[in-house]
Amino acid sequence: MTGRANPHRGEASLTVAGETVVLRPSFEALVAAEEELGPLFALVDRAADGGLKLAESVALIHHVAIGNVTREALGA
C-alpha cells in the first residue's frame, strides 16, 4: 500500500521493492501474530536476548502490514 504512516496511531513505514508499506500494529493484527508466533511478550524477550529468528520478524511485520505485500517480498 502506498501511503504515509501516521505516527499518532503507532504506524511506521518501510520500502519493499520500491513501494512504501505502512505497518499498523492494530489489536486485530497483533492477535493474529500472537496466534502464529506465541505470546508477544515472550517474542520481545527473545528479541532482547538476541534469540529472535528472522522468520519470526518477517511474520510479525507481515501481520501488521497494510495491503497485499507478501512474506516473500518482505523476506527478500
Per residue in 25-75, pLDDT (tens digit) is 999 999 999 999 999 999 999 999 999 999 999 999 999 999 889 999 998
What is the separation, in whole angstroms, between the first and last Cα of the chain?
Answer: 17
Q: How far apart are CA 23 and CA 33, in angstroms?
A: 13
Which residues fall within 8 angstroms of residue 60, CB to CB, at 6 or more apart?
Answer: 33, 37, 43
Cell of 9: 496511531
Query: What stretch of H or E contains 32?
Result: helix 27-37
Q: What pTM, to 2 d.p., does this model score?
A: 0.85
